[in-house]
């Protein structure tokens, strides 16, 4: 039996292996999904959506939440409280997913002269859902619900770093659905590539830009539909007149939560030079208050990084910043066993440093200053990434106007970004292709078909 081997990032100790899917098993998993999908698509929407309430009940059960949260903490080091918050997202978002999908599935009728056209929205068939390790429960749920509620079948491939959490999530939802409708494939990039090449109609992917590009190439042959949610290098602009305390709270929280391993983490702070000293003092104080410890303890704010490789990337970027003259306000220490790396606060980050150019995905508050707002906007936009951003300044039209000049799909104004209230989850430039959530996001999992007839 081929297995996936993982390690507990807090200790470096091996975790129980999980069985890997073999390429020759894919055809049956996909065929079962396709057979189940035909009957699923024929049901009316409310019948299809009924399972969502049962899923919500399951992820409200304290024992189930505890098992899932412990698995996430053990596999990728997310502190237990944050893991529970991730699972709470499944509970809190699922009804909104149902509401958006209900709208997306409605036909539209238009009349022009003597022609009446009805546009119906049809499921695509089987959607490959390929997920990363940093949100091992909520990301699979976001993509799988989008696919299933719009009448598709899905085949989920969790990350090879979090196979057990992926399997637990799958087990929670799969038996609420017709047999085979949500398949499961376990393994790494190789089986991921085989899944993209197999008889699937769409790939819904969350992960790195490099893998997104590989998927795009693989999918080109079959012109498969794609939704790709990719990496970010989110800027934060702190303008004159900003509430520095609130900005420091956010900068620290959004750079360090999940050890910075969040696609919409704050990766670049641009603070007006007159506010820098006050801002850095406030950041230093907050970082000192972080409780570093065992991810399985209830009091921990900050655990280990998820993998040795991820820690190495961060250390390489920090070494490059030091060589090029950045100053460490706080220097995160590496320690073991396990993949621990304390938080760093770095000032004087120049635009040509790796810390400013490449996704860090690590616990670093990276600070540089600016003199003019135009300069801050230009430097914030000087990146191929365009996922999220935030602007901090006096509430009102001037700060709003700066938000409108940023090349990011999601911008927060005196807060973090949000896809609440029916908004899409969307990246710009190389941070995404297609998008999810929102009615329009649901329609990315569907094919419009028009029926034209003469009237009158």
Strand partners, 14: 7
The residue from 79, 132, 151, 362 that contacts ligand NAD (CB under 6 A) is: 132
Rounded to the nearest 10 degrees, the angle between the axes of helix 62-76 and helix 163-174 is 160
CB nearer ligand NAD, residue 203 or residue 271: 203
Q: Please tell me whether residue 77 binds ligand NAD under the rule CB under 6 A.
A: no
108 has catalytic annotation: no
Write the DSSP symbol of residue 161: T
CB nearer ligand NAD, residue 267 or residue 276: 267
Strand partners, 205: 130, 228
Residue of this chain nearest to ligand NAD (CB atom): 192
Closest CA to 143 of 225, 63, 74: 225
Closest CA to 81 of 92, 65, 93: 65
Judge contact between 79 and 305, C-beta under 8 A: no
Site string for ligand NAD, 163-202 (x = CB under 6 A): -------------------------xx--xx--x------
Closest CA to 344 of 384, 380, 311, 387: 311
| In the complex, least distance from residue 256 CB atom to ligand NAD, rounded to whole angstroms | 16
Q: Please tell me whether residue 32 binds ligand NAD under the rule CB under 6 A.
A: no
| Number of other CB atoms surrounding residue 348 within 10 Å | 17
| Number of other CB atoms surrounding residue 404 within 10 Å | 11
CB nearer ligand NAD, residue 157 or residue 272: 157
Closest CA to 129 of 87, 157, 160: 157
Site string for ligand NAD, 373-412 (x = CB under 6 A): --------------x-------------------------
- Name the maximum alpha-carbon separation found in the chain: 78
The residue from 10, 26, 68, 131 that contacts ligand NAD (CB under 6 A) is: 131
Which one of the spans 51-59, 208-216, 233-241, 323-331 is the region binding ligand NAD (CB under 6 A)?
208-216
229 has catalytic annotation: yes
Judge contact between 268 and 368, C-beta under 8 A: yes
Site string for ligand NAD, 290-309 (x = CB under 6 A): --------------------
Q: Please tell me whether residue 263 binds ligand NAD under the rule CB under 6 A.
A: yes
Q: What is the spatial distance between Cα 437 and Cα 53, in angstroms, rounded to a whole number? A: 18
Q: What is the spatial distance between Cα 200 and Cα 252, in angstroms, rounded to a whole number? A: 41
| In the complex, least distance from residue 55 CB atom to ligand NAD, rounded to whole angstroms | 21
**Contacts with ligand NAD, residue ranges (CB under 6 A):** 130-135, 139, 157, 159-160, 188-189, 192-193, 196, 206-208, 211, 214-215, 229-232, 263, 359, 361, 387, 427
The residues carrying an active-site annotation are 229, 263
């Amino acid at each position: 039996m081929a297995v996936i081997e993982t390690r507990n990032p807090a200790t470096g100790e091996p975790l129980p292996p999980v069985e890997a899917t073999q390429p020759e098993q894919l055809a049956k998993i996909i065929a079962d999904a396709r057979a189940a999908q035909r009957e699923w698509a024929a049901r009316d929407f409310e019948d299809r959506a009924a399972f969502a309430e049962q899923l919500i009940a399951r992820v409200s059960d304290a024992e189930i939440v505890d098992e899932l949260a412990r698995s996430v903490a053990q596999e990728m080091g997310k502190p237990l409280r944050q893991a529970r918050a991730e699972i709470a997202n499944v509970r809190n978002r699922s009804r909104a997913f149902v509401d958006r999908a209900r709208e997306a599935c409605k036909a539209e009728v238009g009349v022009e002269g003597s022609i009446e056209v009805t546009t119906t929205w049809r499921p695509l068939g089987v959607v490959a859902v390929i997920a990363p390790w940093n949100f091992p429960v909520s990301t699979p749920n976001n993509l799988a619900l989008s696919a299933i509620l719009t009448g598709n079948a899905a085949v989920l491939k969790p990350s090879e770093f979090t196979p057990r959490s992926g399997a637990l999530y799958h087990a929670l939802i799969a038996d609420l659905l017709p047999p085979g409708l949500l398949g499961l494939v376990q393994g790494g990039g190789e089986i991921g590539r085989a899944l993209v090449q197999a008889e699937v109609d769409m790939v819904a992917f969350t992960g790195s830009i490099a893998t997104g590009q590989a998927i795009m190439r693989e999918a080109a042959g079959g012109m498969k539909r794609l939704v790709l949610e990719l990496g970010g290098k989110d800027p934060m602009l702190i303008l004159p007149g900003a509430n520095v305390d609130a900005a420091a709270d956010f900068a620290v929280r959004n750079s360090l939560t999940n050890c910075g391993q969040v696609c919409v983490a704050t990766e670049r702070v641009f603070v007006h030079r007159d506010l820098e000293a006050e801002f850095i003092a406030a950041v230093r104080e907050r970082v000192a208050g972080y409780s570093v410890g065992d991810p399985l303890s209830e009091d921990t704010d900050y655990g280990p990084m998820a993998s040795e490789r991820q820690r190495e990337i961060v250390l390489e970027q920090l070494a490059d910043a030091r060589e090029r003259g950045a100053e460490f306000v706080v220097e995160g220490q590496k320690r073991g066993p396990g993949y621990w790396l304390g938080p760093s606060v770095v000032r004087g980050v120049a635009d040509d440093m790796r810390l400013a150019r490449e996704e860090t995905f690590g616990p670093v508050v990276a600070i540089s200053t600016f003199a003019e707002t135009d300069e801050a906007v230009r430097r914030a936009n000087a990146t191929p990434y365009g996922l999220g951003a935030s602007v901090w300044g006096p509430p009102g039209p001037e700060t709003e106007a700066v938000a409108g000049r940023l090349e990011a799909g999601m911008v927060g104004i005196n807060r973090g970004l949000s896809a609440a209230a029916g908004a899409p989850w969307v990246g710009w430039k190389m941070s995404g292709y297609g998008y999810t959530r929102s009615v329009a996001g649901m329609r990315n999992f569907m094919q419009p078909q028009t029926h034209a007839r003469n009237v009158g």
